[in-house]
Amino acid sequence: MSSSSAFNDEKGGSSSVGEPEYGHDPASGGIFSSDYKRHDDLKEMLDSNKDSLKLEAMKRIVAMIARGKNASDLFPAVVKNVACKNIEVSPPRPSRYRDISQTDPNQLIRASALRVLSSIRVTIIVPIMMLAIKEAASDMSPYVRKTAAHAIPKLYSLDPDQKDQLIEVIEKLLADKTTLVAGSVVMAFEEVCPERIDLIHKNYRKLCNLLIDVEEWGQVVIINMLTRYARTQFLNPNANESLLEEGGEKTFYGSDEEEGKEDKVEAAALVVKRKPYVMDPDHRLLLRNTKPLLQSRNAAVVMAVAQLYFHLAPKAEVGVIAKALVRLMRSHSEVQYVVLQNVATMTIKRRGMFEPYLKSFYIRSTDPTQIKVLKLEVLTNLANETNISTILREFQTYIKSMDKDFVAATIQAIGRCATNIGEVRDTCLNGLVQLLSNRDELVVAESVVVIKKLLQMQPEKHSDIIKHMAKLTDNIQVPMARASILWLIGEYCEHVPKIAPDVLRKMAKSFTNEEDIVKLQILNLAAKLYLTNSKQTKLLTQYVLNLAKYDQNYDIRDRARFIRQLIVPTDKSGALSKYAKKLFLALKPAPVLESPFKDRDHFQLGSLSHLLNAKAGGYQELPDWPESAPDPSVRNVEVPEWTKCSSREKRKEKKVEKPFYSDSEGESGPTESADSGNQSGCVCLSQPVNSSPDSDTGSGSGSGSDSGSEDSGSESGSEESEGESDSEKDEKDKRKSGKKKAKKTAPESEERIYVSFCVALLLKCSFPSPQAASPTCGPLKTYELLHRITGEGLAVTYCFSRRPFTGDPHMVSVQIQFTNNTEVEARSLRVLEPKLQSGMRIAEFPEIDVLPPGEISTVVMGIDFCDSTQAANFQLCTHTKKFFVTIQPPVGELMMPIFMTENEFKKEQGQLMGMNEITEKLTLGEGCRGDHVIIQRVISTANLSRVPCGSAMECRFAGKTVTSGSLVLVTVVTKEERAAQVTVNCEKMLIGTMLVKDILQALSQ
Amino acid sequence: MIHSLFLVSTAGHIFLEKHWKSVISRSVCDYLFEAQGKASAPENVPPVIATPHHYLISVYRDRIFFVAVIQTEVPPLFVIEFLHRVAETFQDYFGECSEASIKDNVVIVYELLEEMLDNGFPLATEANILKEMIKPPTILRSVVNTITGGRELRSVFAWSVAQGSGSSNVGGTLPTGQLSNIPWRRTGVKYTNNEAYFDVVEEIDAILDKSGTVVFAEIQGVIDACVKLSGMPDLTLSFVNPRLLDDVSFHPCVRFKRWEAERVLSFIPPDGNFRLMSYHVNAQNLVAIPVYVKQNVSFFETGSSGRLDITVGPKQTMGKTIEDVVITVHMPKVVLNANLTTNQGTSTYDPVTKVLVWDIGKLNQQKVPNLKGSLSLQSGAPRPDENPTLNIDLRIQQLAISGLKVNRLNMFGEKYKPFKGVKYVTKAGKFQVRT
């Protein structure tokens, strides 16, 4: 796209005023030497006849854009080259790219065309883009589908109103089974609809299984998304143990002891309440499948897995990530920086994990400062009674470093170790006091600040240190340190009764030259001394207060006024002055030195938000574990497609129905035929009355949840077309016919699905979105491929499952069922040497390695029949035998349903008149009364979809041929008595003729 | 994801910008310059900077800042890893990743960036795929281009247009690498000499304290490969002692399951140079430190001077010679000059950067290299508190210090007999001696 960005008119960002450096940059090569004034030259070059000149001009324009120059005034000149014959110069044209993206035989070119198209950011082409994306999403090439996934966020950012339609495409692509698509579509999902967690259910296991083969960038996105998903769907694996143990760990921190106990009690109570935890197998699947990725060369992938384990794994298993994270410490310093941030957060919660790697966090003098500080943080978090002496020894060497910021951080770290681990408090304090004689003022100042905090914990023991620090006021100039010393002396003036007034005297002398924070502390010191030792310090305090009264800083003036009123007794002084001593010399709690990384783990680790400790735009919160696990069955994928319904409501409904059919729960035979569709009404109908005595309860419970009436089934079935127009008489007929049909083929599990579908429909009281016409359902006709006698015990049947063949939409999918009736295993069942008519293609089923005796195995293969009823011949092989077999499709299986409105139907029909129209009259058969039977028979004959229409006398059906996509339109008009007329409009006359014949036969039976 | 990319030189000159979505003003880089001003060295600029409207994630490589502008949440490592991949691609294409080479090849750079990111999301980052679409510059090609008018605007888009219009203006084959399950290898590779070389490179990371005792030491290794084999070879590399390897990471081509089960590396290699694996040798095993260092650096309280005395000698070398020994010392700021003599190699002191470099060369048993002399300090300045650390660089040919040994290399899937070779090298990684 380098050329097309040249005329990108959004280039308004940078000024069109030429920068002076532009013309005379000595380093710039030929390309860079072109001046902004010479745009005319470029225009001339673009207008010239020579392609070489044009190319040169284009190159210069690219170079200009690369430097952020505005090239928009060259736009017209570039556009002129649209007509240029040299293809390398010509910029893109939207409509042309759309055509290419849909028709070119080469998948790479289709993909690139879509990429170009989607990169054009102009709102007018939104509809074109939408169409192209939809088309590409069902392309047979996974690479094109990947490109479609990439285009989704582009279109979304261009026009957010398209969200609903895009979600449909995302849903479709999520179901894709190739690794190429997975990463890209999850990325689109995260950009467009990260909240639609429900779309993931059906694809969860597939994503887990594909993960290891997805390209590395996709892996990162998928793992992060699955982390969030798992947090909503599974139970906390650490709910029981961790509470107890964490409580135990906490007691290392002296101050937290009581809290810890409380936690323990609480935790124990919780443990009693909870049931023993059993990990969901899907949860386990995720952990198991991500673990190998810790070995990835890509740091982002390793980090993604690490955060997944940290957030999701049982405590005992989290340890595995430590090694991998420590490995990343060898990588570039930027990687180290991010990894250390995350390790710092992890070490607070799970210290044990990194303890064996303590030495890997030792600091080298060549590390960048920010890395040093983070390593220090980790070392501090890892410190405990056993390793503290090693760590302190290490810290001692750090204090000698040349990097003063780092030394300051080390002193802070020592202070934190001292507060956390009581045993070493005195050692640390002594060490810090030694630092007070350091030559570097920064070091001393930092030490003072830390010592102040430490002393506050047990001041009575350390009056000598306070004395020592009092001496320092003469030398130390760092305001923060001076302020700290003054505060210490004021606070513990009882421990140093002789020195304190003297310090105040010195300070009063230098008051005017001090920094603001020091001045405030001088005031504090004065006030405290006045309250404890007013005899010696009264005058000094007055003096200081007077100085402060005229200070430039209003804070200081305020403070002075406040203190004066409070401590100096006057006639007017209020009730407060009595309590002055309590106010100033109250016992102050010791500060808690906490890690800045404490509680950062409420952000998802590895995220930008975690790193910044602030929510970044677009950050998705990591949800808390649910109290009780949501239904795990939502992730089952054996159930047919329509359960993928998008709204939560529907899923709930499904849950409700379940218990009714629990008896048939066990049977999960092939349910290939059960697909959704508006036209499934007739089949639904047949269910309530089918065969068994249970059926009454079946229908009762099914409909009972809402309408409760008997004819609920019929309502749902005919709702779109004629609904209530049916008489009661028809009802009986329907039942009869339904009964027949059901007995014929439908296996029991299918029935269950039909009935539940009816219920779903009833509850919803409308059909699912008619947008995407899905294959019509109906009992499948099974054909014999190999008789068990000819097959020497191996029986093979096939049927047309009427599902789009995954991988190639131009193929008819044929479901083949092998039954081994022999006593021995049949091995390596496969297709051999297909003999096909020209143009026909075959996608073989994966070889079946072993078929044990008595077992049944089902596979799906795809055949492109080229819209002809010519048979596909091939050999079926076992490890010993070969059988010549033939699959001949009925004409009705060569098409797939499409959805149309009545108007569209009429319009299309109008264009397929004359030769393309075939009409036949007929007399309807004995059992063929009522539209439902007609609809059902037509649909079982041909894979078409019902077109809703207003008239009760007409039924319309639409479809297109699988290979060429020619329209097939069928109209059945019923007349007086049992007369009827069938009209088929189809571009392919042969197909039309054959289809009419088949339909006639079906209807006149 | 990644919104825009700016390439900035250390001098603060933005010499390339690329936007994948809308244009973001280059003034956003001011925040980087601000951070750079605060930092003492370019390495110390924080990699992630939050600005009011954007986030800047940058990496510093080869004296260039690669600055990615981000608008919404994205894992920072994702961006950092990608930016390093960009730098590596430039390195691969132009031989070096420098401001000059990027400027010279601005069109190729633009094409690469366009293919590597689609709408801010990584698309094709495998060098193999990129090279199919965008040919690296060669002298011959640049000559041809100047004569014929150039063909550099060649990318997948050019392909699509060419094919769509039925024109055959753009020759060659389509880049099919993106379609295969093994995107790292292109099909139809042909060589007259089929050869596969593996370099086992180990680095010793160690910290020694003043007295020479080991504070911390570990061995990090990599196996770099240069494979030039025709067709689709399937290679298996096995080790004599795979148990040594404690933690490993692999190129995506390695089949992890086989490693788990059998401890062999089984893979279909990329074409050309690549890093097959990197590993870590268990730190619990004793690491043999190949050299000993005796040092004494001291500064006197009076007279503004100091003394330096360093001796290096071989130790535990398993009969191999240690080569290319270089000792680098970052001196405290107050050290003005050094007056040093040595009995082997050369020593230089740069008073501006305060770096002392002693290039020793080969270490031999008979004569132990020694460097000593005096340091002159800034007069009047107090004696520095800190002592400098010694960074040691060395190399041992024909030895993997951990003892790791390749057992054999087998090839399946192709009929010819390849030429195979394995080389071992040990280097010093982050090897420091504290004083």
User: What does the pLDDT read at residue B58?
Assistant: 93
Interface of A with B in 828-887 (CB under 8 A): none
CA geometry: angle A431, A435, A439, nearest 5 deg: 160
Give the pair of three-digit tokens for residue A100.
């290419």
Nearest to B111 among A2, A297, A394 (CB): A2
pLDDT digits 0-9 by tens, A542-556: 899 999 999 999 999
Tell me the C-alpha distance between B240 and B323, whole Å: 27
Inter-chain CB proximity A2 and B114 less than 8 Å: yes
- Answer yes or no: is pLDDT of A831 > 90: no
Q: Residue B235's beta-bridge partner residues? A: B267, B411
Beta pairing partners, B60? B65
The yes-or-no answer to whether B195-287+401-433 and B291-397 have a common fold is: yes
- ipTM, 2 decimals? 0.89
Indicate the pLDDT class of residue A816, thresholds 50, 70 and 90: confident
Give tens-digit pLDDT for A455-502: 887 767 777 888 888 888 887 788 888 888 888 888 888 888 888 898
**Would you call B44 and A67 a contact, using CB atoms and an 8 Å cutoff?**
no
Q: Quick one: pLDDT at residue A337?
A: 93
Identify the residue whose tokens are 């049949």.
A826
Distance CA A154, CA A148 (A): 10
A88, A333, A369 member nearest B151 (Cβ): A88
Q: Looking at CA atoms only, how far is residue A58 from chain B in angstroms? A: 9
Give the model confidence (pLDDT) of B222-265 as tens digits: 999 999 999 889 999 999 988 888 888 998 888 888 888 889 99
Query: pLDDT band at residue A93, thresholds of 50, 70 and 90?
Result: low
> Distance from B76 to chain A by nearest Cα, in Å?
6
* pLDDT, tens digit (0-9, with 9 covering 90-100), for A557-596: 999 998 888 887 776 666 777 778 788 888 777 777 777 8
How far is it, in rounded angstroms, from Cα A742 to Cα A752? 12
B48, B170, B432 ranked by CB distance to A88: nearest: B170
Choose among B16, B167, B256: nearest Cβ to A292.
Answer: B256
Q: Which residues of A touch B257 (CB under 8 A)?
A: 292
Contacts 24+ apart (CB under 8 A), B210-215: B210/B434, B210/B435, B212/B292, B212/B293, B212/B294, B212/B433, B214/B287, B214/B289, B215/A359, B215/A362, B215/A394, B215/B434
Q: What share of chain A is helix, strand, coil (3-state, %, to 5)?
A: 60, 10, 30
Mean pLDDT of A15-20: 38
Query: Residue A667 half-sphere exposure, CB side, CA atoms within 13 Å?
Result: 13
| Chain A hits for B176, Cβ within 8 Å | 108
Measured over the CA atoms of residue A925, residue A927, residue A933 and residue A939, the dihedral's sign is negative
For chains A and B, what is the number of CB pairs under 8 angstroms?
Answer: 304
Helix (H) or strand (E) holding A464: helix A463-472
A301-317 residue pLDDT tens = 999 999 999 999 988 88
Confidence of residue B295 (pLDDT cuts 50, 70, 90): confident
| Beta-sheet pairing, B234-239 with B406-412 | antiparallel
What fold, for B2-133?
Beta-Lactamase (3.30.450)
Least confident span in A430-444, A848-862, B158-172: B158-172
Longest Cα–Cα distance of chain A, Å, equals 126
List all residues of chain A from 98 to 137 with a beta carbon under 8 Å from chain B. 99-100, 104, 106-109, 112-113, 115-116, 118-119, 121
Average pLDDT of the residues in B49-78: 92
Nearest to B256 among A92, A109, A295 (CB): A295
Phi/psi zone of residue A49: left (φ > 0), alpha (ψ -120 to 50 degrees), beta?
alpha
Which residue in A29, A51, A300 is closest to B78 by CB distance? Answer: A300
How many CA within 13 A on the CB side of residue A384?
15
Min CA distance, A165 vs chain B (Å)?
Answer: 20
- Long-range contacts of the stretch A986-990 (C-beta < 8 A, 24+): A986/A912, A986/A916, A986/A918, A987/A912, A987/A916, A988/A867, A988/A961, A988/A964, A989/A915, A989/A916, A989/A918, A990/A868
The sign one gets for the Cα dihedral B133, B138, B143, B146 is positive
Chain B 315-344, residues with CB within 8 Å of chain A CB atoms? 330, 332-333
d(CA B435, CA B433): 6
Degrees (nearest 5) of the Cα angle B13, B16, B21? Answer: 130
Which of the two residues, A32 and B142, has the higher pLDDT score? B142
Residues of A in contact with B169 (CB under 8 A): 86-88
Query: Is B151 part of the contact surface with chain A (CB cutoff 8 Å)?
Result: yes
* Interface with B, mutate which of A9, A334, A603 (most B CBs under 10 A): A334
Average pLDDT on B285-290 reads 77
* A857 strand-pairing partners: A818
* b/e burial code for range A306-330 (CB count within 10 A of at least 16 → b): bbbbbbbbbbeebeebbbbbbbbbb
Phi, psi of B370, deg, nearest 5: -145, 140
Residues of chain A contacting B39 with CB distance shorter than 8 Å: 369
Alpha carbon A234 to its chain centroid, in Å, reads 16
The two tokens of residue B200 are 């086992």
Confidence band (pLDDT; 50, 70, 90) for A760? Answer: very low
Rounded CA separation A458/A618 (Å): 48
Cβ atoms within 10 Å of A700's Cβ, excluding its own = 14
The architecture in CATH of the region B291-397 reads Sandwich (2.60)
- Interface probe for B, chosen from A608, A610, A612, A620 (most Cβ of B below 10 Å), is A608
pLDDT on residue A226: 92
Q: Residue type for A330, please?
A: R
Host H or E run for residue B228: strand B214-228
**A601-615, B38-52, B283-297, B387-401: range with lowest mean pLDDT:** B283-297
A718-727 as b/e, with b when 16 or more CB fall inside 10 Å? Answer: bbbbbeeebe
Given CB atoms, is B88 within the 8 Å cutoff of chain A?
no
Facing A86 at nearest CB: one of B17, B60, B169: B169
pLDDT of residue B358: 92
Secondary structure (DSSP) of A155-213: HHHH-GGGHHHHHHHHHHHHT---HHHHHHHHHHHHHH-TT-GGGTGGGHHHHHHHGGG
What is the identity of the amino acid at B360? Answer: I
Contact B153 A112 (CB under 8 A): no
Q: What separation, in Å, do the N-terminal and C-terminal C-alpha atoms of chain B show?
A: 46
Report which DSSP code applies to A916: G
Superfamily of domain B195-287+401-433: Mu homology domain, subdomain B (2.60.40.1170)
Contacts 24+ apart (CB under 8 A), A987-993: A987/A912, A987/A916, A988/A867, A988/A961, A988/A964, A989/A915, A989/A916, A989/A918, A990/A868, A991/A867, A991/A891, A991/A894, A991/A895, A991/A961, A991/A966, A992/A916, A992/A917, A992/A918, A992/A968, A993/A918
Cβ atoms A133, A114 nearer than 8 A: yes
| B5 confidence band (pLDDT: 50, 70, 90) | very high
Confidence category of residue B174, pLDDT binned at 50, 70, 90: low
Query: A222: distance to nearest CA of chain B, Å?
Result: 12
At residue A319, the pLDDT reads: 87
Residue boundaries of the structural domains of chain B = 2-133, 195-287+401-433, 291-397
pLDDT of residue A476: 79
Contacts of residue B22 in chain A, CB cutoff 8 Å?
Answer: 10, 13, 121
- Name every chain A residue with its beta carbon within 8 A of the beta carbon of B389: 364-365
Q: Quick one: pLDDT at residue B290?
A: 87
What amino acid occupies position A167?
I
The Cα A671–Cα A756 span in angstroms is: 14
Q: Could A62 and B110 be called an inter-chain contact, meaning their C-beta atoms sit closer than 8 Å?
A: yes
Residue B421 pairs in a beta bridge with: B197
Does this model's pTM top 0.80? My answer is: no
Residue B148's closest chain A neighbor by CA?
Answer: A52
* B250–chain A Cβ distance below 8 A for any pair: yes
Range with the poorest average pLDDT among A763-767, A982-986, B101-105, B424-428: A763-767
